[in-house]
Amino acid sequence: MSMQVEVEAVDITPEECLESGWTTAISKRKLHGASERDAHASLIQRNGISGGGRALTSVKKRLIAAWRLPRLPREHYRVIVRPGGGMNVKNVSQIKVAHALTLAAQLSPAEIADDIVCPNPTQNIFVVSTLAEKNARAYSKVEAITVRKASYEVSSYLAGPDNTCKGVLRGVDMDFNHEQLSSMIVQPKSPRALQVKRIKNTTTVIVLFDGLKVPNYVMCGQSMLRCTLYRRQIDACYACRRLGLRANLCPTPEDVICRSCGKASPSKDHVCTSECALCEGPHPTVDRICRQRFQVPYVDRQRRRERQRTKSPASTGTEHLQSRSRSPSRGRTGQPVPRSSSKRSRFRSRGCSRSKVPSAVRLQTPPADDTRLADFVKETPSMVTRKVPPLSEHGAARIAQFEHENALLRSAFEHLQAEVAELKLTTASSPSQSPPPSGTADVPIEIPSEAPADERPTKKRALSQPLRDEGLEDLKSDFSKFINDTKEFQAELRNTFKSLSEAFSTA
């Protein structure tokens, strides 16, 4: 895959920075794959893409999409094979090329069982994906292959590992060799630096970092050097003027096309007006002054995707929270807000957003006094405006279940209150029996002398309250216990609801 680094007053080609590959960081694996869409070279030629309705960005997007490879196994090593000698990757037999690479690497059929050879016609290269490190190193040492009795020189190197990024250091003296640079930069002070490589005979050094973040400064010995993000440049063949292809990999070097105007087979005294095939600017194709020649770095694209994935659930939920108006909502740019196709949220705000910024959601804060959860749900306490993501289906179902249970408990509580009131009225209407006096007057009894006096029976004391009062006390105690249990359950529901609200607000 063609790569270039921008240096002050110096153009850097891919072989200058990727001569032997990133061998020391070969154990890294890619976390995300990419997809490829095959694009014909004539679409990006000057004669083939000229037209009034052509969008400049579409050409660049199609070109970048054509560079991408199919989804290869993440745990594989990848070797880039650049054929020379006029080999056209699009027309040559891929099976014969794979067989020629196997013979040149001196690998047996059993060793290449898991290997994959994938062509990229736009860049005119082959990508070899292999699971074994031994095979990857063998492929990277191939210098020539033979296809149909024709010999072609190739340059192979190990691709940079996945989940890594590259930075550029400038002003590094030429006195330090590769080993000295590695020991000065790959050190404990720079724990994320994996490998370094100098750009031929220049003071520019490329550093490979672990992860998708390039530090602003890198320690080189005791010196702190400024580090900038590596930017990939769109290539253009100086011979055929095709975008995405380098001159040393051109399959048709004999078909010369003017780089400035796109005229085929121009004469030596040809005079023309320069027009870039990428941006249509008044300069040669992909010249140094072309503003479209650099791609957005992969690190920036990855961060944009992550931010988009982070914002998409919140924006989808807030779009459902907005009430539908008869007139479309408009932002400052005058463009309508896109409507999400996902399920509608069960909550909806009363206001209509006038911009693409997610609308604010109103949350109810529970009152300070001890009120029932049903009253808290029904009443409208003080409102607090806060931006929170929408409730999930599971959280909404749990809240609905709590509300249903609370309604049942409240109805039972009201029923018991009515029964208690009835009992109180019944008790008040019937007069209670007054207890007999504590002491009684002695009554003289005539006892015959001849017969012994019988034992006087023990008097029974009247009950202080009727039996009906005892049942009422039991009922009151049971009811008090039920009320206490209900209050505890309501407190538990209130705490659960509060924790759910805090969890959704911090999500």
Q: DSSP letters along 20-73, please?
A: SB--TTTT---SS--------GGGGSHHHH-STT--HHHHHHHHHHHHPPP---
Helix intervals (H) in 339-466: 373-378, 393-429
* Residues 323, 337: Cα–Cα separation, whole Å: 13
* Residues 27, 210: Cα–Cα separation, whole Å: 11
Instruction: Tell me whether residue 415 is exposed, middle or buried, using C-beta atoms within 10 angstroms of its C-beta: 0 to 12, 13 to 18, 19 or more.
Output: exposed
Compute CA distances 38 → 62, 67, 69, 70, 342, whole Å: 9, 8, 9, 10, 32
* Residues 352, 44: Cα–Cα separation, whole Å: 45
The whole model's pTM is what? Answer: 0.45
Task: Say whether 287 sits in a helix, a strand or coil.
Answer: coil
**281-294 confidence digits (pLDDT tens):** 888 877 877 877 77
* Residues 117, 134: Cα–Cα separation, whole Å: 16
Q: Are residues 59 and 230 in contact, defined by beta-carbon separation less than 8 angstroms? A: no
* Residues 56, 430: Cα–Cα separation, whole Å: 98
Instruction: Tell me whether residue 443 is exposed, middle or buried, using C-beta atoms within 10 angstroms of its C-beta: 0 to 12, 13 to 18, 19 or more.
Output: exposed
Query: How far, rounded to the nearest angstrom, does the alpha carbon of residue 294 sit from its chain's CA centroid?
Result: 25
- 180 Cβ contact partners less than 8 Å away, ≥ 6 residues apart: none
Beta bridge partners of 157: 80
Per-residue pLDDT of the chain (507 residues; tens, 9 = 90+): 445 545 454 555 555 555 556 655 554 444 444 443 343 334 334 433 344 334 455 666 666 666 677 788 888 888 989 888 888 888 889 899 999 999 999 999 899 998 999 998 888 889 999 999 999 999 999 999 998 888 888 888 888 777 888 899 999 999 998 899 999 999 998 889 998 989 888 999 999 998 888 899 999 999 999 999 887 777 777 777 777 777 667 777 777 788 778 778 788 787 888 888 778 788 887 787 787 777 666 666 767 777 778 877 655 555 544 544 444 444 444 444 444 444 444 444 444 444 444 444 444 444 444 444 445 444 444 444 444 455 566 677 778 888 888 888 888 888 888 888 888 888 777 655 445 544 444 555 555 555 555 556 565 555 554 545 556 677 777 778 888 888 888 888 888 888 877 777 776
Compute CA distances 434 → 227, 319, 430, 464, 472, whole Å: 101, 74, 12, 8, 18
Q: Are residues 139 and 81 in contact, defined by beta-carbon separation less than 8 angstroms? A: yes
Beta bridge partners of 166: 208
